[in-house]
Structure 1
Amino acid sequence: MKKVLALVIAMILLAAVTPMTLAADATVYVSVSVDGQLDVAAQPVTVTDMTVQGAIKAAHKAYYSGGEDGYAGGIDKTYNMFLITRAWGVTATPYVILNGAPLGSDPANPATADVAPVKAGDNIVISVSSDPAVAAQAIALTATIADGKATVTATSWTLDFTTFAYSSAPLADAAVVDPDTGAALGTTDQSGSVTTDVPAGGVVAVDGLAAINVNAAASSPAVPAPTASAPAAPAAEDTPLFYPPTNSMLIAMAIVLPPIIVVICIKTSKQSRLDKKAAETKK
């Protein structure tokens, strides 16, 4: 009896502690480009829900005047997959770039913001257009630091809406600035790169399209570059329910654990009655 009760208590404690153990704070850097103008340039965001969506919501809460009301996302009934439908108050689906590539460009990684994981130091760019006739631009930035100089590489990604595959090319001849002061830092070469002194604030921006904290990017673990072209994003049903751990795990625990505990308690009570009857028979 005591062993069974101990097992039940252990299961309850495990269910309560596991989500807290999985949760962790991390600082990522978020940029927001609206109609080709940077509203936010690689600003730090503290994330507790370790997904791209968690970072985007936290960025809205920290820097958007309307807070999280400026964001909306969910399963789209037409495509049967998760889509962001409003970002920075603009009702449109933005490009979301995580480090070196937009979500959905690499089939090896989760393709949607609700499940794509983030880690400390990640650079996230949200690019959205309020004009349906003018497409937003998807610009990814990476950075390295050597001998006190930062080398920033800009890559332009294009989505083919007939095949839903991405292609990429260096972003050449783009103006590079310090967004804190407006000072010009140079122009990207034909490979999309520019080498410059590290600004005092550590942030480098390319036109009004994207920004990166070069200090954070240089200290983050390197991520292999994705292929230039990739197939369409997987449907929502192909995405593992618990990757990464989300509220879905808590819901599942709430559904699964109570029946198990009830069954154990019933069996324990029944066994206790049988043991008591057996003891009385022996007397």
Structure 2
Amino acid sequence: MVDQFQRLAAAQLSVTLTGASSVERFDTLRYAFELMLDVTLAGKWPPAVLRWPAYRKARAEILAFARTSLAERAARPAGGPADLLDQALRAVDEHGNPYPAEIRAGMALQGYFAGINTVAYLYSFMLYALLRHPELLARVTAEVDAVYRRDGRLRFDDLRNLGTLRDLVLETLRVYPPAPASARTARTTFGFQGHRVEEGSRLLVATTVPHRLAEYYPEPQRFDVDRDFAASRRAGVYAPFSVGSHTCLGAGMTEVLAVATMAMLVRRLRLALPTPDHELRIRATPGPNPGRRFRVAVLTDR
């Protein structure tokens, strides 16, 4: 499921942000992106790994792809609201100077692979939670069936009427946050609970620790979509997308995509876990995920 959801997320995000799918280059994009994360964020491999010929070849290929995409957009503007390619072409620094071509290529690439892991992991955990809790699956399925149009389509306005599914997204992000912490660099020396943190130190800010604290979420180990997420957001203890000025730019879009994707999935297929009490073996890198071995069975086409 993780592999399939990664491919789906890559297609969704690239079409949404750039108007074109990155499916044909998915394997190259995923290899380069995950290796870079394992080195720079997870610390799983030493920096020397990024000098491997295979990585350097993949990096060169995707940068060339981004530069070509930008050149084609510059030559043939798409019209309509500006997407990520348009924004990258127009971007200037704090002095009003255009960014170098390599920087603009990096901006464009965000639309092709940024979020494919976290979005795919969210989809995978949501599906697991649904199949692990049959009563919740029945509730969500009835809600989805009620809003689907006679022509078999799900429209944007229909998503407003999928309250249980929206709460499923929120509870999944509480229990299984794909990005449970944020890596930061201290801009100045400061003290924290008796510890001295030097300027330039690398920090890991564990923003989702409150998600499992009973004072904020009664019975925090229990999966419950009927929690008061509005109150916990106001209290600043719900932070699956980080906090403050570092909040993920794709937070709102991710929630909408997750609702729409899972609605279409439960509408079209009947799925099942390998066993009713199947337990996930969650992997830690490049972020908490169900692992490549997470599988489900397709029982029937609804």
TM-score, structure 2 as length reference = 0.23
Structure holding more helix per residue:
2
Bigger-Rg structure (1/2):
1
Structure holding more strand per residue:
1
